Structures are given as structure tokens and as C-alpha cells.
Chains A and B, each alone.
Chain A
Amino acid sequence: MREEKRDWYEFTGKSVEEALGKALEELGVEESQIEIEILEEPQKGFLGLGGKEARIKVILLAEGAVREKLEGGEAAARAQAPEETGGETKDSSEIETIVSRVLKLMDIEARVEAKEKADSFVVDVWGEDAALLIGKGGNTLEALQTLVNLCARRKISTGKKVIVDVEGYRKRRKARIEKQAQDKAKEALEKGKSELPAMTAAERKIVHVALRDFEGVRTESVGDEPERRVVIYAEKNKKTSVSRETETENQ
């Protein structure tokens, strides 16, 4: 959260208009609610170097309303209890704004919908550049989610995790990981041990949960991030495994 309460903010942009646009969007106010002071006019640089952006100071006039949105809005949002299936709340629309903003700055046209659930916020994104946004092995999507979580933490304070999904990628990936876990568990039963590829913490959890009730195996995460992976061990009763080895030796 912001350390001190203040009623003015600075914004920059290629032009004064752009800076103003950013200000209105970020603060969620109308032009009539603010007073603008131009701190610096933009200056053209040479070959994209040395240029100076326009800098404006935005003073909030409608104190209460805007401050509430930025700092005190969480309480009001929490008052509207989210449904089990997830609903739109003040916080979820705040997160929707952050994601839309990031995508817009990436020049990606997409539809964004955020919902607040009991233990998390879920943001679904649909658009043309889904593959780009997901990235190799979901890398870009992970990065987006990491950053959105950090940005959101400053605007809302429910402490709930934000899960960003693009075109149902996470849901499909979950199904694929579960299948892979089952296959590898069978392999572990045959060979005594098997290993899954490196995964994120959330993905490893899918494996652990999927194999919790799988007879005869135990799972363990080993290695350091980002190479941390799940290893599956065949869990034989120690005694029987020892005696079996002894039997083999005796033969």
C-alpha cells in the first residue's frame, strides 16, 4: 500500500494528452475531478535518444471519492461477499483493469474477465495472440501472472492470489499433467522410480494431489527452481523390499 496519503500524482507520456489519458485511467477519475499542472512539455529526441516525456501533476479535487477507490475501496469490496462460483467485485474489476492495461501496452487485443472467488481471483483472457501470451511451456503466462499479482497487491489487500488464464490453457494443462502423472506413476511401479519434467510450484502441486491416492507410490519435489521437479518413488514396504532383494541374492 502507498506509504502516505496524498492527493496528487505525477504522470508521464509522449504528449500531455497521453499523460492525461494515463492519469484518468489509472486513477479512475473524470477530467472534472482533477486539476492538471504541466511540469514538463515533451521534447523530441534524436533517433529515439535523449527525448523527454511530458510530465504532468494531477491534483485530485474530489478527495473522498478517489482516495476511497485507491486506498479504502477494499473494505467496501469485501462487504459484497463473492459467490462460490466467483463474481465481479470492486477488487476483481481493479485486477481486470491491470490486466487489460498490460495487454494494451503489449499491443495485444484481448477480452479480459476477472472474477473473485472465495480463495482467489481468476482472470480469463481470450484473444488473437494467445500463443504469444502463453509462451514456451507457459513461460510468458507465468511471468504475466507473477507481475499482475505484484501489481494487484498494491491496489487491493485481500491477499488472495490472482490466477491468470489464457484461452483455458491452465485447465488444459492441468488435465495433461494429471495424465502424465498417472503414466509416470505406473512407470515408477515398474522401475522403482520415475521423474517428471521441471514444473512450477502450482503444477507440481497438481502432480502431488493427483497421485495422493495412487496405491504404492510416493511423490517428492527435488532440485532448485526453476529446475525443481517431482520424483515418484515406488513405495514398497521396506521389509518386503529388503526380503525380496535377499531372496534374489539367494537364488
Chain B
Amino acid sequence: MKDLLEYLAKSLVDNPNDVQVEMIEGERSVILQLKVNPVDIGKVIGKGGRIAQALRTLIKAAATKRGKNAIVEILD
């Protein structure tokens, strides 16, 4: 899940080297914290949160496959 979010985020932003993902894994849930360069924040959130929503949906599907619930936080 971490690799997935990292790959997607890096593909979306102008500064892929500034993408950081921290994963906090619990027994049943996973929290993924995404940090990007401040100039790229719009690139991972999108108009009306459209991109952030898509990222969350896809990560949640990946987590479901592992029997977990995933929460994606975008830090600014």
C-alpha cells in the first residue's frame, strides 16, 4: 500500500523526490501519511478533492485485499 501510494503520488507531482509516505500499521487498519512539496499539494488533492478521493478509493481497495482498512492522510 505504501509503495502504491508512493508510486501514484510521484507520478502526479512535479517534484517526485519530495514525496514521502509514512505508514502506521495496526492490526486491522493502516494509516498512510502522504507528504509532498507544498507547491504540489493541489496535484494530489485536485479540484474539489477529486484526486485525493481517487487515491483513497484505490488504496482502500488494495487494503481490503489484505483484509485491512486504510486511511490516507495528506499532510500539509
Q: Taking beta carbons and an 8 Å cutoff, which residues of A are in contact with B?
A: 3, 10, 12, 47-49, 98, 101-102, 105-108, 129, 132-133, 135, 139-140, 142-144, 146-147, 150-151, 154, 225
Contact = CB atoms under 8 A, between A and B. Distances in A.
A10 B17 CA distance: 7
B61 A106 contact: yes
B61 A133 contact: yes
Q: What are the nearest 4 A-B pairs in CB distance? A: A143-B57, A105-B4, A143-B54, A151-B11
Interface residues of B, number: 27
Contact of B7 (A101, A108, A139, A225): A101
Interface string B22-61: 0111000000000000000000000010110111111001
Interface string B54-75: 1111100110111000000000
A140 B23 CA distance: 22
Interface of B: 3-4, 6-8, 11-12, 14, 16-17, 23-25, 48, 50-51, 53-58, 61-62, 64-66
Nearest to B57: A143
Contact of A151 (B6, B12, B57): B12
Given A98-B11, A143-B53, A143-B58, A107 B66 contact: yes
